[in-house]
Amino acid sequence: MSEIKLDESISSVSRLLMTILWPSFLMAIISVGILFSMVDPETLLIHGESIELSDEVIYTIGFFIFWFLGALASGLTALLMCKSK
């Protein structure tokens, strides 16, 4: 009996994580595509100084920032949905 309950809880947790992470992953792809189609990574400045990283590293950092922000928004939505039940 406890194994069935454990499997159900793992399934619900993995379903919740996929509900949060998959849409935020897709939006991160779209957001990075839109951002870097308009902004050249070589022209970015931090505190008035150019960034000494390759374009691929800047794309990757931007992707993870957008993915984190999307996951944060999706997680907050999931939290609010769970509290209302």
Q: If you average pLDDT over residues 15-36, what whole number do you get? A: 94
DSSP secondary structure string, 5-72? HHHHHHHHHHHHHHHHHHHHHHHHHHHHHHHHHHS-GGG-EETTEE--S-HHHHHHHHHHHHHHHHHH
Residue 2 is assigned to a structural domain of this protein: no
Identify whether 6 is part of a domain. no
- The boundaries of the domain holding residue 27 are 20-84
Whether the predicted pLDDT of 85 surpasses 80: no
Write out pLDDT tens, residues 28-79. Answer: 999 999 999 999 988 888 898 888 899 999 999 999 999 999 999 999 998 8
Structural domain contains residue 15: no
